[in-house]
Structure 1
Amino acid sequence: MKVILLEDVKSLGKKDDIVTVNDGYARNFVLPKKLGVEATRSNLNDLKLKKSNEAKLAKEQLEAAQAFAKEMEADEVVLSIKAGEGGRTFGSVSTKEIAQGYKAQCGKEIDKKKIILPEAIKSFGVFEVSVKLHPSVTGKLKVKVTEK
């Protein structure tokens, strides 16, 4: 019997896979536990529509991330931190501060977890920070750190 899996099943396959199983296994395990449905024409058609819809959504998300990355490259975030004697800084600039500054200055939100800082910003100047917007799209954001 052919079955469309609704969830990942360790010994059979991943979600949305079409697998062939014994009739008894399907009737006694896969179907009663709602791990899969029988691969009828209507279910196969539903699966095809679902996959095409997911592909369309993934493409739209990729395009939106690419557009946001282009907008972000033109933006600049200005942050100020306290300085001591000799131009030394107290503390450093965190991803949380960058995200809050970007929202306040540019009106757009970035998740602080998606900002990639190779090392903490502990000096004044202009820095280029990477932001992971999508698994295949990474944007660049300019962060200008000034003295308070």
Structure 2
Amino acid sequence: MQVILIQDVDNLGGKNELVTVKNGYARNYLIPKKFAVEANPSNLKQLEERLKVQAKKEAAMLAEIHKVTEVLKASPVKIGVKTGTSGKIFGTVTALQITRAIRDQKGYEIDRRRIHILTEVKEVGLHKASIDFGNGNVAEIEFDVVAE
């Protein structure tokens, strides 16, 4: 029996997937627990519509990610830190500081957990970090650490 999964089911498939299962498994478990619906013509049309809408949303999100990436790559973000006389900074630059700098200077709100600093930042100068937007979309940006 073919069913359309409404939500992810372990060892079977993901949401909006068309899978073939045994009749008893579908009728006694998947359909009553609202994990799946029967794959009849009307449900298949609804699935096609959901997949079209999802594809449009993903395309719009991908365009927005590329726009944000281009703005961030255009010029490095400046982060002001306190330094000693030799140019070494007190402490280290964190993802939270980069997030705040991007918000203040570029106007984009990026979750700090998505930012990964490639090397430990202990000195003034130009450094790199990567931002993981999800779905394999990773952007590498530069940030400039300057003394206050």
Q: TM-score, normalising length from structure 1?
A: 0.85
Is residue 70–residue 139 contact of structure 1 (8 Å, CA) maintained in 2? no
2: CA distance, partners of 1:20 / 1:104:
51
Partners of 1:129 and 1:145 in 2: CA distance: 12
Q: Give 2:141's aligned residue.
A: 141
Q: Out of 96-105 and 133-142, give the one that drifted further.
A: 133-142
| Superposed displacement of residue 108, structure 1 | 2.0
Flag the structure with more relative contact order, 1 or 2, with Cα contacts below 8 A and sequence separation at least 6.
1
CA shift for structure 1 position 123: 0.2
What's the CA shift string for 1:13-46, capped at 9, x where partnerless? 3332323344443332222111211111110100
Q: Is the 8 A contact 1:92 1:122 kept in 2?
A: yes
- 1:14-93 alignment, distance < 5 Å: 14-93=14-93
* Aligned-pair CA distance for 1:50: 0.8
How many residues are matched? 148
Task: State the 1:68 CA deviation.
Answer: 1.2
Query: Could you tell me how far apart the structure 2 residues matched to 1:133 and 1:66 are?
Result: 10
Deviation at 1:49, TM superposition (A): 0.9
> What's the counterpart of residue 112 of structure 2?
112
- Aligned-pair Cα RMSD in Å: 2.1
> Which protein has the larger Cα radius of gyration, Structure 1 or Structure 2?
1
Task: List alignment gaps of at least 5 residues for structure 1.
Answer: none
Q: Which runs of 5+ in 2 are unaligned?
A: none
- For the 8 Å contact 1:79–1:143, the answer to whether it is kept is yes
Question: Does the 8 Å contact 1:69/1:138 carry over to 2?
Answer: no
